[in-house]
Amino acid sequence: MKIPSSPGMEKISDPIDNEGKHALLDTNVLADLVLYVLQGMPIEYLPQRRLKRLQSQSRMKARTILDKVTFQYRPYVIYEFTRRMCQGSKCFISELTLLELSKVSLKWFLDGKAQFKSKKNSFLNAINETINEWLSLLKDLFGIEILGVSYKDHDVAVNMARACQQRSDILNNAVDIYLLAIALNGHYSFVTMDRRLVCGLSGSFISGLRLYTETVGNINRFGFGVCIADARFNTGNRELNTSIYLVDNQCMPPKPNLNCGQKWCQ
Amino acid sequence: MQDSALGVNINGLNRRLNDVIDMVRSLIAHYSERFAKLIEDFEKDLASGTVNVDDYYNDTKELMMDVTQDLGYLAQVKNKEQVLKSVLLILMEVLRQYGLLKPEEVEELKVELENVNDINELLTAINGAYGMLASLLHRVACEQENTNVRYSLVLLAESLINFSLGASLPAIAYLLASLAIAHGRKDIATELTKKIGDDLEQMVSFSCGVVKAAKFLEERGIYLSGEDTIIARYGENQ
């Protein structure tokens, strides 16, 4: 699959309704789109292992039926938000998603549940073949394309990492830095459900977290469930900025109250 | 006389389209008699071929201005916990009827709810329940050969999603559009969705695209979730 490089400095601002915008979708957003569909499967058709897995995926470990139902909340907000976003903007994923999907798929193969379409190639090639086939399908179905990480993106990422004083944490958060660098360098709105990414970089590159609302005929949509924040970074004589959309059930009125961990890059 | 799809049996649900529309209608119109009346009038006008889309759109907008009919509003009223719990129990019963919860799970939930009084927790659970139903309708919709049934079900799913997102205007518009398509009036459905800044063809294409993409992985035994990818990014102890 040919992967295009990200553009340089197009002036693209932000949200959903306008034509000609670009949005970068995080790997977790793609994954939750899939989860949204899986959760609509009636129990009688759902394999028991899958059911247990769905229940244990919740951070609350699905203690109760209430947790089980609540767990569906985020995937459908992601579904609706992404649908609206990709209708008004051209949507992309980054090359990093290829790496992350391959890593996630490994455990399904290891579990013996995932099946190879062909066994002609090496094991890893077979996994990549499946992932590439899936991503081609996404391109055909939604026009979602893969964005190569350019050397310009890389330079921005390096400068961002240098700006962080706690350099020992960079290894654990390298993907976060690269994703934000790609979004900033190409002026792509960035859509994620990764609260740790937003929290970890807030105060340094991300600020102004607030509830996101979209107005339709004077009525607000997404009054809860989605936050928006500003991302900024000055590198050389370039001022980079874009918008970050976080889908999280802590994005609730009257204002988001994120249970944040460490702000590792200060 | 247009072809009606209301009586078509839906594979995978073992119900007629009419029954599914009634389910969504009762969940949404439950909150307001004026909603119910608006939908009833629309259906009569559909049958007689006298629907004026502008009038219905303006009536719906006016209704929204008059009083906020969404769940956020319900959460502000007196005895709000009780109101939300009763909404949740109605939804649980629908989830059971549609095979998304087991009967014993509904009973278990009733007991659990006795100790839950957090408004946000209840609202999130209600929204989750709407999401489960919407997901089922999307999934089933895209398996239907009859185009009108497929479009109608996708619109019903969107109606549920928007209602739970506090966007009652699009929710009602999608429901009316679903009814229009079920009565064979795709032109009216297209116009209604355009009124709220959406595109019917793109909506159905995205929905069925997501279903197709999910099934591609499902058939190969790969079950993705956002949580999985975050664990892959940071490790289990993030």
Q: Which tens digit of pLDDT belongs to each residue from A91-102?
A: 999 999 999 998
Amino acid, single-letter form, for residue B213: A
pLDDT of res. A4: 45
pLDDT above 60 for A53: no
Say what the pTM is: 0.86
How many residues does the structure list for chain B? 238
pLDDT of res. A213: 83
Answer whether A31 touches B (CB < 8 Å).
yes
Contact A44, B98 (CB under 8 A): no
Q: Point out the least confidently predicted range of A177-191, A200-214, B29-43, B199-213.
A: B29-43
**Rounded mean pLDDT of A127-131?**
87
pLDDT-derived band at A52 (thresholds 50, 70, 90) equals low
pLDDT of res. A106: 84
Answer whether A123 touches B (CB < 8 Å).
no
Contacts of A19 in chain B (CB under 8 A): none
Which residue of B lies nearest to A220 if distances are taken between CA atoms? B167
pLDDT of res. B126: 87
Percent of chain B with pLDDT over 70: 91
Mean pLDDT over each residue of chain A, to the nearest integer: 80
pLDDT above 60 for A6: no
Contacts of A73 in chain B (CB under 8 A): 124-125, 127-128, 131
Mutate to test the interface with A, among B233, B234, B236, B237 (most CBs of A within 10 A): B233
* Min Cα–Cα distance to chain B from A125, Å: 16
Which residue of A lies nearest to B231 if distances are taken between CA atoms? A104
Q: Are the beta carbons of A32 and B64 separated by less than 8 Å? A: no
pLDDT above 60 for B71: no
Task: Give me the DSSP letters along A125-166.
Answer: HHHHHHHHHHHHHHHHHH--EEEB--HHHHHHHHHHHHH-S-
Task: Give me the DSSP letters along A230-248.
Answer: EEEEEETTEEEEEEEEEE-
Contacts of B92 in chain A (CB under 8 A): 69
> What residues does A21 pair with on adjacent strands?
A89
- Rounded CA separation A123/A109 (Å): 10
Mean pLDDT over each residue of chain B, to the nearest integer: 87
What value of ipTM does the predicted structure carry?
A: 0.89
Q: Three-state SS for A60? A: coil
Tokens 């204002």 sit on residue: A255
Question: Which of B105, B132, B195 faces A40 most closely, judged by CB atoms?
Answer: B132
Amino acid, single-letter form, for residue B205: S
pLDDT of res. A217: 59
**Rounded mean pLDDT of A236-263?**
87
Task: Return the DSSP state at B101.
Answer: S
pLDDT of res. A62: 43
Question: Which of B136, B212, B238 faces A196 most closely, judged by CB atoms?
Answer: B238
pLDDT-derived band at A121 (thresholds 50, 70, 90) equals low
Name the helix (H) or strand (E) containing B35.
helix B33-48
pLDDT-derived band at A169 (thresholds 50, 70, 90) equals confident
**Rounded mean pLDDT of A136-158?**
93
CA dihedral A116, A91, A31, B150 (to 10 degrees): -90
Measured CA distances, B142 to A74, B6, B104, B206, B215 (Å)? 22, 17, 30, 11, 11
The tens digit of pLDDT for each residue in A197-210 reads 999 999 899 999 99
Q: Point out the least confidently predicted range of A123-132, B22-31, B62-71, B171-180.
A: B62-71
Burial of B138-175, coded b for 16+ CB within 10 Å and e otherwise, reads bbbbbbbebebbbbbbbbbbbbbbbbbbbbbbbbbbbb
Percent of chain A with pLDDT over 90: 41
pLDDT above 60 for B12: yes
Q: Are the beta carbons of A42 and B64 separated by less than 8 Å? A: no
pLDDT of res. B118: 83
Q: Tell which wins on pLDDT, A44 or A49.
A: A44
Joined together, the tokens standing for residue B58 give 């303006």
Q: Tell which wins on pLDDT, A251 or A88.
A: A251
Give which of B121, B199, B29, B210 is closest to A76, Cα–Cα: B210
Per-domain residue ranges of chain B: 9-234
Contacts of A43 in chain B (CB under 8 A): 99-102
pLDDT of res. A19: 42
Measured CA distances, A159 to A164, A174, A205 (Å)? 9, 13, 12
pLDDT of res. B227: 87
The tens digit of pLDDT for each residue in B183-226 reads 999 999 999 999 988 999 999 999 999 999 999 988 888 888 88
**How big is the A-B interface in CB pairs under 8 Å?**
242
Which residue of B lies nearest to A70 if distances are taken between CA atoms? B125
Contact B193, B177 (CB under 8 A): yes
Amino acid, single-letter form, for residue A65: I
Which residue of B lies nearest to A169 if distances are taken between CA atoms? B234
Contacts of B206 in chain A (CB under 8 A): 83, 86-87, 142
**Rounded mean pLDDT of A246-264?**
84
pLDDT above 70 for A229: yes
- Rounded CA separation B64/B219 (Å): 44
Q: Tell which wins on pLDDT, A197 or A118.
A: A197
The tens digit of pLDDT for each residue in A7-44 reads 432 233 333 444 458 999 999 999 999 888 887 776 65
**Rounded mean pLDDT of A127-135?**
89
